[in-house]
Each structure stands twice: as structure tokens, then as C-alpha cells.
Amino acid sequence: MGLTYLLDTNAIIYFLKGRLTTDSNELIENVIHESLNISIITKIELLCWKNITDGEIGKVREFLNYAKIHYLDDQIADLAVSIRKEFNLKLPDAVIAATTAHYKFKLITADHHFEKIPHLSILSLQHL
């Protein structure tokens, strides 16, 4: 693949629920096998996912075993503050955007609000 990606929470949820198009599903599978990166925010959001079934929580925990989790540090926190203020994102999304920018990842997401951040590299997923 060549690029290093960070998966947004919604990308993982759509993947685990089988709600991605074939192309998007294949992309996520390739990312999982090559270099699975997520923000600590995504780990928290996945483990707090509402209405999650026992089977889904098992899938989430298995998925997290493969992930390299990027934790919040002062540089990412400062960048998240800047992004939140400038682009009016919710705090979790600002942290995900900051993590993406800090590590120069390409963000895989189904959310379009990240597109307003011009210096962020994004790959938008198609879902059903």
C-alpha cells in the first residue's frame, strides 16, 4: 500500500458490521494486515459503543489486539486544541485529526467534516 493510515471509529464500526462497499472493505482488510493505526479516542469510542452485542464486543476486542494505538501527548493535545478552535470539531474528532496530522497518516473515514481541514490527508469510505 505504501501509505500509513489511521482508521476513524466509524470506519471500524462499518467494517465490523459489514456495512462497507466491497472496495472499502478490501481497503480496511489490507490496512489491518499491513499497519493498523488508531487513536486512543477510537479505542475508547469502540469500547463505549452503544447497543453493542456480546459478539460485537468480542470482535472489537480482537480488532484492538491488532491495532497500534496512538496515545495523547502534549504535541497532539496542542494540535487538537488548535484544530478544534479553527474548525469547530468535537473534541474526539479534533484529537483524531491531530493524531492523523502529527504522524502524517492518511485518515480513513466515512465522516465528511474532516474535509474542511485543508492539511489533513483523507480517504473517504463508501458505506451501504
CATH number at residue 103: 3.40.50.1010
pTM: 0.92
CA dihedral 8, 91, 4, 30 (to 10 degrees): -10
Q: What range defines the domain where residue 66 resides? A: 5-124
Residue type, 14: Y
Neighbours of 95 (CB within 10 A): 25
Task: From 105, 106, 112, select the one nearest 127 (Cα to Cα).
Answer: 112
Q: Hey, what's the cell of 13? A: 464500526
Pairing of strands 68-70, 106-109: unpaired
What percentage of the chain carries pLDDT values higher than 70? 96
Q: What is the DSSP code (8-state) at residue 5?
A: E
The total number of structural domains in the chain stands at: 1
Q: Give tens-digit pLDDT for 16-68.
A: 989 999 999 999 999 999 989 999 999 999 999 888 888 888 889 998 998 99
